[in-house]
Structure 1
Amino acid sequence: MKADLIVANAFILTMEGKGVGMIENGAVAIRGDTIIDVGSSDEIVKAYKTDRLIDATGKLVMPGLIDAHIHTGLSLFRGAAQDMSHWMQKGLWPFKKNTKEDEMVKGSMLNIIEGIKAGTTTFCDFDHGMNKIVANYKRVGARARVAQTVNEMPDNVSSVPVGELYPLDPSIGEWKLQENIQLIEEWHEKENGRITCMLGPQGPDMLSVELLLQIKALSEKYDTRIHMHVAQGDREINQMVKRYNKRSVAFLDELGYLSRRLIAVHLTEATREETHLVAKRGSSMIYCAGSIGIIDGLVPPVMDFLEAGGYAALGSDQAPGNNCNNMFNEMKFAAILNKVKYSDPKVFPAWKALRMATIESAKAIGLEHQIGSITKGKKADLILLNLLEPNLSPIITDPIRNIVPNLVYAAKGSEVETVIIDGQFIMENRQMQRVDEKQVVLEAQQAANQIARRAREDIEHAQSDILHMMKNGYL
C-alpha cells in the first residue's frame, strides 16, 4: 500500500481510549488529508511504501491542539487590559473603538501565527469583522471554526458609566447578524472542509430577546452551533438582573438556549447548580484558565461541569488580558489553578488537561469525527515536538512515563518543530510555509502604532489603570 508521508520512530499520543493512548516507537501513515494508519514503526514501515519518511527519533507526535475560544482580531491590544478592574470597559473598549477592520485583519494573522508556532491547528475564532479575518485561515492553511460577533451595542458604549445598562440598538444587531449569515453562506465547509462556521451572539446581556430568538432559529436552519459568552462576569450578571430580573443561565434556559447547540464560554459567575444545568442540557463549556485568572482573578467551575458529565474544552481567549495565545500555557494554568482552588494536587491531572486541548475539545466544538485524536480515517492534523530540549529532558519510560506531565508543566510551545494540517506542512523546522512571518509582525506593529495614537483620548477618559501605573512610575 502507498502513503504520501510516514512519520516513524516517535513517541505517539493518539488520545484514544480514556487517557493519552501512548505508543512508544510508533508511526503514522498519511495519504492526502487523512490518517490511513497508526501503530508500531515496524508494522507501519513494513506495510506501506511512501514518498517521504520522517525519522522522528527523540520526538513526540500528537494531535494538533485546539484553541476552542479565541478572539484573534484583538491581538493588537496585547497587554492593554490586565492588572485592572473593569478590564473590558477601561482596557479593551478604548482601543477597540479606534480600530479599523483592515487593522484587525493584520492583528489576526499575527495571532494565528503565534498559535500555530505553539502547536495550535484548530482555532475557534469569535470576533467582529470575521468575514475578512477568515481569509487569513485560507491563506495560512489552518483549520478554523469561526463566528461573527453579534451584539446590539453602539461604538460609544465605552462612555457608559460602569454599572449602568448598555443601550441596545436593534439596527446594529440586525447588521451584525447579516454579517454572520453571510459568513456562513460564503465560508461554511470551504477549503476542503477546513473552515466551518457558527453563530456568535456575544452574550445574553448584549442582545435583545428578539435577536437571541432569531439566532436560535437560524442555528436550527443552518444546523450549526452557537458560540456565546455565558455568565462571563459580574458585569454581565448585573446587566441581566437589572434588565430581566434573572441571572444568565435561568434566562437562557427559558429561551431554550441550553442544548447541544450551545458552546457556553467561561461560566465564570455560574453557581454550582447553574453549571450542572448547563451540562445536563447538553451544552458544552469552554474554560479559558489564563484569561479569566488574569482579568478576573477567578477559576471558573469547570470541575463542577465535568462532574455533571459535560464536554469541556480549553481556550486562550484574548491577547489584551491574557497576553499569549498558547495552548500549552492554558493546559498548565488549568491544572495548577484548579489544584490551588481545591487544595488538592491530584485534581486536574496532566492527562486531563491534555485531553481538554485535543479530543475532549473536539467533542465540545462538534468536530470529534474529524480531529482531536490520531485515528485511522481522521484528518491529518498533527504536530511534532522535540523532546530533547532541556526543559523536556530527560525522557523516562520505565517504570513510569514522564512525557505527559512534562508537556503540561514544562513545555513552552517552542518545542513544536513541525505542524501538519489537512496533510499539508504548515510549519516545518519552525518556519512558516505559506506566510512571511517577519512581514506579518511588521505590519501588525505599524497598525498598533496607529491605533494607539487614535485611542489616546479614549484611554484617558476611561481612566485606564495601566495609564495610572505609568504616570505613577510603575511601568
Structure 2
Amino acid sequence: MTTLPGELDLLIVPRWIIPVAPRGLVLEQHALAVHQGRIVGLLPVSSANALQPRERRDLPNHVLIPGLINAHGHAAMTLFRGLADDLPLMTWLTEHIWPAEGRWVNADFVRLGTELAIAEMLRGGTTCFSDMYFYPDVAAAAALDAGMRAQVCFPVIDNPIPGARDAAEAIAKGLKLRDDTRHSGLITTAFGPHAPYTVGDETLTRIRTLADELDMPIHMHVHETAGEVADAVTQTGERPLQRLQRLGLLGPRLQAVHMTDISDADLALLVEYGVQLVHCPESNLKLASGMMPLQRLLDSGLNVALGTDGAASNNDLDMLGEMRTAAMLAKIVAGAPTALDAHSALHLATLGGARALGLDEEIGSLEVGKAADITAVDLSGIAQQPLYNPASQLLYTCNASQVSDVWVAGRAKLRDGQLVGLNTPDILQRARELAALIAQGEPHES
C-alpha cells in the first residue's frame, strides 16, 4: 500500500473512479489524493475519511476519469466556427478558410481564438491539447496563462505563412519556442509540417534530421483523403506514406493525423515503424474525407489517439462527443457492434493520446506518481438514468455539459461547471466583435 504524505492538498471523493490503467477497472467508493500537483493515492473511502486534506471535494454522483487529451486541433480556428460549412475539403480550404486566414490571422487573432478554444476544452473536461496553427508562441503563451497543458506544433509549409516568411524561419522560430518553454512543466513542442502535399522533400529531410537530433515529435496531416493519396500517386508514383518512409520520417515520433486511406502495404509500414495515429472522426465525417479503419489498426497493435480537429470543421471541441462518434463509427466500419467498447474509447481519449504525444509517463491515467490532470463527470442527470455501468453511460449518454470539475496538475480549472481563472465574459465579447467584422468580409452562402 502506498504511504501517503503527512499533508495533502486535495482529496476527491467521487462515486466511481475509472483510472484507465489497468484497462477496464472501475473503482467504487474510492478516493483520490493529490499533493503538490501529483496523484499520491487511490484508496477506499473508509480509509480516506481519516485524512485531513487542505481541501476535500465530495462528488457523490460523479465518475472521475483522467483529463481528456485532444490530440489534434487548430485552436485559434474557433473564430472561424461555422464560417463555411457543408463543403468538400479542398473547396472549404482553398475558397474559404485559406483566404479568410490570409485576411484575418495575426497574433491577436491567434491569442483570442486560442483563449476561446481553451475555455471550451476545459469546460468539456480536456486538460491537454495538441495545437497546430500560426503564431505558435502566442498559442503557447495562452495555454501557460490558462494553466493548461499543450503540445504546440509549429507549422511548416513551403510557402509564406502568417508569422514566418518561409519554412526555414518557421523552423527557427519553432526551435526558439522549444527552448523558451522546455522547462515550463506544461508545454511541449513538435514539428508541424502541414501535409505531404504542402512540404517538399528538402524541408521534410531537414525536419527529420532535427527531430532525430532533438528527439522531438513530428505532427502531420497524412492520408486525410483518398483524393490526396491518388493525386500523390499520379504526380510522383508514390503514396504519401511511402514517400515519408523514403525520407526517414516514419517512426514512433511521427504523429500521423487522419489516415483515412490505408492499404495493406500502408498498414504494414505503420506497424513496422510504430507510427502514432490520431483519429478525428467528426471532422472527417463532416468533410466527407473518409473513415479511419480504427478497429483494424487497434487489432494490429498500433496506438491511436483521438482529436477533434479545428472547430471550423467539427464544429465543437467536445471530446466526450468525439469518443461517442468514434465508437459508433468504429462499429459500422468494422461491421461489428463489439468494436471500440467503452473502456477502449476512453483509452483513446486519455492514455492513447498521452502515448501519442510522448507524455504517457506524466498523464493519461489516474496512477500514483502521475500529474493530477483529472476530470469529473456528473452522472446524476435524467439522460444517465438508470445507471448500470458508469463507463458505458459516460460514453453513450454524456457530453461536455455533464463535466462539473477539472484539475490540471492539481489546480482547479473548472468547479461546479464554472471556469476558474479565465475571464470568460471578456473572451466571448471580443470573439463576438471580431466575428462581426469577419462576417462582413465573408460572402454569405445561400
TM-score (norm 1): 0.88
1:29–1:59 Cα change, 3 Å: same
The amino acid that maps onto 1:43 is: S
2:158 is matched with which residue? 152
Matched, 1:285 2:273: no
Match of 2:46 in 1: 42
**Secondary structure, aligned partner of 1:453:** helix
Contact 2:139 2:152 in 1 (8 A): no
2:298 aligned residue: 306
Relative distance call for 1:37 and 1:155 in structure 2 (3 A) is closer
Q: 1:97 aligned to 2:89?
A: no
Note the 1:216-255 alignment, pairs <5 A. Answer: 216-255=208-247
Identical-pair percentage: 28
Q: For 1:455 and 1:129, how far apart are their aligned partners in 2?
A: 23
State the partner residue of 1:30.
34
Q: Which residue of 2 aligns with 1:382?
A: 374
CA distance in 2, matches of 1:89, 1:234: 18
Residue of structure 2 aligned with 1:116, choices 104, 117, 122: 122
Question: After superposition, where does 1:61-140 map in structure 2 within 5 Å?
Answer: 61-85=64-88, 86=90, 87-101=92-106, 102-140=108-146
Counterpart residue type for residue 6 of structure 1: L
RMSD: 1.8
Query: How far 1:246 sits from its partner (Å)?
Result: 1.0
* CA positional deviation for 1:94: 2.4
Query: Where does residue 399 of structure 1 map in the other structure?
Result: none
Letter in 2 for 1:377: G
Partners of 1:105 and 1:259 lie apart in 2 by 33
2:44 is equivalent to residue 57 of structure 1 = no
Gaps (5+ residues) in structure 1? 157-169, 397-401, 457-465, 471-475
Moved more, 110-119 or 384-393: 384-393
Tell me, in whole angstroms, the C-alpha distance in 2 between the residues paired with 1:279 and 1:73: 33
Report whether the alignment pairs 1:183 with 2:170.
no
Give the aligned residue type for 1:447.
L
SS of the residue corresponding to residue 317 of structure 2 reads coil
Partner of 2:3: none
Deviation (angstroms), 1:150: 0.8
Secondary structure of the structure 2 residue equivalent to 1:426: strand
Q: Give the distance between the partners of 2:173 and 2:234, measured in 1 at CA.
A: 29
Q: TM-score, normalised by structure 2?
A: 0.94
Farther off after superposition, 267-276 or 127-136: 267-276
Deviations 1:388-412 (A, max 9, x none): 111222222xxxxx21111111102
The equivalent residue for 2:189 is: 197
**What is the identity, as a one-letter code, of the residue corresponding to 1:129?**
Y
What is the SS of the residue equivalent to 1:319?
Answer: coil
Paired positions, count: 437
Contact preservation (8 Å) 2:255, 2:276: yes
Deviations 1:419-451 (A, max 9, x none): 100110111111111111111011112122223
Answer yes or no: is the 8 Å Cα contact 1:249–1:270 preserved in 2.
Answer: no
**Distance in 2 of aligned mates of 1:286 and 1:394:** 34
Alignment deviations for residues 210-263 of structure 1 (CA, whole Å, 9 cap, x no partner): 110111111122221111111112453245335432110100011111111101
Q: Which residue of 2 aligns with 1:164?
A: none
Kindly indicate whether the alpha-carbon contact (under 8 Å) linking 2:295 and 2:334 is maintained by their aligned counterparts in 1.
no
User: Counterpart amino acid of 1:131?
Assistant: D
Change in CA separation of 1:248 and 1:350 when aligned onto 2, cut-off 3 Å: same
Shift of 1:84: 1.5
* 1:161 matched residue in structure 2: none
Q: Distance in 2 between the 1:91 and 1:38 partners?
A: 50
**Counterpart of 1:419 in 2: which secondary structure?**
strand
Match of 1:411 among 374, 387, 398: 398
Corresponding letter in the other structure for 2:183: E
How much has 1:333 moved relative to structure 2? Answer: 0.6
8 Å CA contact retained: 1:13, 1:62: yes
Question: Which residue identity is paired with 2:207?
Answer: I
**Match of 1:53, as an amino acid?**
R
Task: Tell me the equivalent position of 1:441.
Answer: 428
SS of alignment partner, residue 50 of structure 1: coil
Gaps of 5+ in 2: 1-5
